[in-house]
Amino acid sequence: MKEHLKLVEKVKNYFPNINAENINKAYNFGKKAHGAQTRASGDPFFSHPFEVANILAQMKLDEKSIITGLLHDVIEDTLATKEEIKKNFGIEVANLVDGVTKLSKITLDKNNKNKQVENLRKFILAISEDIRVLFVKLADRLHNMRTIKFLKDFEKKKKISNETLEIFAPLADRIGVRKIKDELEDLAFEELNSNVKLTIIKRIDFLKSQGKNNIKLIINQLNKILKQNNIKAEIIGREKKPYSIWRKMKRKNISFEQLSDIMAFKIIVEDIDQCYASLKAIHTSYPVVPGRFKDYISLPKQNGYKSIHTSIFGPAKQKIEVQIRTNEMEKIAKFGVAAHWQYKNKINLQEGKKYKWVRELVDIVETSAEPDEFLENTKMDMFKDQVFCFTPKGDLIALPEKSTPIDFAYAVHSNLGDVCAGAKVNGKITPLKNYLKNGDQVEIIKSKLQSPSPNWSEFVKTPKAKSRIKKFIKTKEYNEYSILGLKILKHFFSKNNQIFDESNLKQTLSYFKLQTIDDLYFRIGKGNFDPLKVLHAIYPSLKKIKNIKYEKNLKKEKNPMPLKGLLPGFAINYSKCCCPMPGDKIIGAMVKGKGVAVHTIDCGEIGKYLKKNIISLSWDSKKVTLEDYVGRIMIIVINEPGSLGEIASAIGNNKGNIINLKLTSRKKTFFEMLVDVKVKNLNHFTNIIASIRSLNTVSSVNRIKGK
């Protein structure tokens, strides 16, 4: 029987209604298109797409996926076009082939991050539109790894193997295709660390020789225990893969001599009740390895995987891992999301968007701006070890280990993360940087006045949270510098007796290679663009005039606030980002067209200025009058009787005076308020904040800087 007829029969075994003519047509089309092309092995090139189609058939994918496998290289490597494929096989196949083609050159080349980012963006967006693109790409990579030994370029082999470990194997794990994931890891491990792999295999052989790896004996013992409990089961034993063992050794920092946990056994039963009955029988017969029990039946993985995992000191006190699942769960463990299609006998084109991890990657695509940020946030090897937490309504939220309440808030909804002001974990107020644990019930306290803080990115865990925080900060920075730039430009035009008109500015954008007027304002506000260039672009005749006025030529003004170190003749501006006050440690930054911007010394904006533009400043204590200083604080307090009284007492006992109090939000469990307090000095103000913060009823209290 010809090879393409065998492929058709293979597909017919699970999709009886397949159109054999379409697969035969695709086979002939692809073979003709590739013609006399050959691979590094010397085999005809078309042997590769044919084997990719066979791998897809082993995964029991649909007819159009098989056809895509046969045609996935024709657009890139032959004269065939997308329109030609569309004409012969329909728009769905044409889009799939085109999608795979666009993803054919994903690179981890750190010297070309922009290209790397663009490829990953295309990859993620293509997955979200039709997840079959990912299945075809995985099959393509698997066959390439099976034949990588024929490549002569060592560096290319290393690069492909690294991509396989860092991108494709984790993606296979994400969609639950464990068989492909294991083989990809094993093949890449062979290329990258063949000596280590050989050492691990020798250690396994040694354990076998010591009688510590008798899989048949252990299966017989487990079968005996299950039969005693009237449980009918199929037991499958295997040695763990070398790469899996190596990764565990690195994670737990154990030596080869300490290596003992190298076997895993699957117990496959009829239904869920039998799963838990098997668990009881195993746990009552053998000692349990502490901390190694996971119930993925009650809390499935994001890719739909269900099973019970436990580790025991089994027969001969050998440490073994046991997985217990039903036949249906076993199919999902083998084929991942494709297993669902086998039951439905059809493919849903939007299947990819159903998976939370795909939606989160798409969200990162839409929010990440810089290449470094995007690459950091799209690391595929994420959410390996999870904690499962619950909303107050009982909804399950899965997060990576060491996640915080802020990660939880962003996982529930992006907007909730942006206004997260506090959190109650299991009914108790908890710091936002605390780690969440399995089973925690988390309630997020919202505030309209809250916004993402730059320091959040230092302790959040999830890529989604990191991406959203950075986006907010960058947007805020852009808006603030744009407003500042507009003020500088207006002031500059006025001092030089010229009319400021935005319609004139628009005409200069193409000259300066900018997209919008706000881009121009932003660069001026940040000090990266000289307003004189704008003036000359609009009024070229002024280039001949030498007395264009800068801020340094302005009439000297008396300092509106008593400062030491201020250069004469410079205007001053008290920055709204940090609102410096007498008593704060301060610093100045010279800004073209603006004068000196005064910041607190710990302000995050200081890093935006060149070092040569930074000047030292301090308050003149002899001239400062602090008695009338008013500090504003935001307080989130539990809604309990007497809580307001406690806050008022804390302020009064510290000799502060409340001059204004405004409730900004009131909920069933808490309320939020702004309080203006008259104090003598900064130290006085800090003591009052500390006193309020110590109250049990207070979730958070923060100084509000700026308007």
Q: What is the pLDDT of residues 318-370, one digit of tens each?
A: 788 899 999 988 888 876 655 544 434 444 434 444 455 565 555 655 555 55
Q: Is the dihedral of CA 40, 41, 44, 50 positive or negative?
A: negative
pLDDT in tens, 275-288: 999 999 999 999 99
DSSP 166: I
Q: What is the pLDDT of residue 360?
A: 59
What percent of the chain is modeled with pLDDT above 70? 79
d(CA 510, CA 326): 65
Instruction: Kindly list the structural domains of the chain, giving each domain's residue range(s) and its CATH number in brackets, ordered by start.
Output: 3-175 (1.10.3210.10), 211-336 (3.30.460.10), 553-621 (no CATH), 629-703 (3.30.70.260)
Q: How confident is the model at residue 490 (pLDDT cuts 50, 70, 90)?
A: confident
Name, in order, each residue with C-beta under 8 angstroms of 689's C-beta and a sequence gap of 6 or more: 633, 701, 702, 703
Per-residue model confidence (pLDDT) at position 621: 66
DSSP annotation of 109 reads -
- What was the pLDDT predicted at 214? 77
By the 10 Å C-beta count (0-12 exposed, 13-18 middle, 19+ buried), 139 is classed as buried
Which of the residue ranges 144-153, 233-242, 660-669 would you say has the lowest mean pLDDT?
Answer: 660-669
Q: Which stretches does DSSP call E strand in 511-605?
A: 563-564, 572-574, 586-591, 595-600
Q: Output 500 or 258, whichever has higher pLDDT.
A: 500
Pair 47, 39: CB distance under 8 Å: yes
- pTM of this structure: 0.53
96: tokens are: 């799939």
CB-CB contact of 285 with 341 (8 Å): no
Average pLDDT of span 121-140: 75
User: Which residue did the predictor score with more confidence, 634 or 109?
Assistant: 634
> What's the confidence (pLDDT) of residue 352?
42
Q: CB–CB of 62/341 below 8 Å?
A: yes
Cβ neighbours for 544, distance < 8 A, ≥ 6 positions apart: none
Average pLDDT over residues 186-214: 81
Residue 224: CB atoms within 10 Å: 11
Q: Which residues are catalytic?
A: 76-77
- Taking alpha carbons only, the member of 100, 73, 96 closest to residue 86 is 96
Give the pairing type, strands 698-703 and 586-591.
unpaired
b/e per residue, 576-609, with b = 16+ CB within 10 A? ebbbbbbbbebbbbbbbbbbbbbbbeebebbeeb
Range 497-512 average pLDDT: 81
DSSP state of 122: H
Q: What confidence score (pLDDT) does residue 135 get?
A: 87
DSSP state of 587: E
pLDDT at 270 over 90: yes
**In this structure, are residues 236 and 265 in contact, taking their beta carbons and an 8 Å threshold?**
yes
- Using an 8 Å Cβ cutoff, are 48 and 104 in contact? no
Q: 132 vs 93, which has greater pLDDT?
A: 93
Which one is predicted more confidently, 10 or 625? Answer: 10
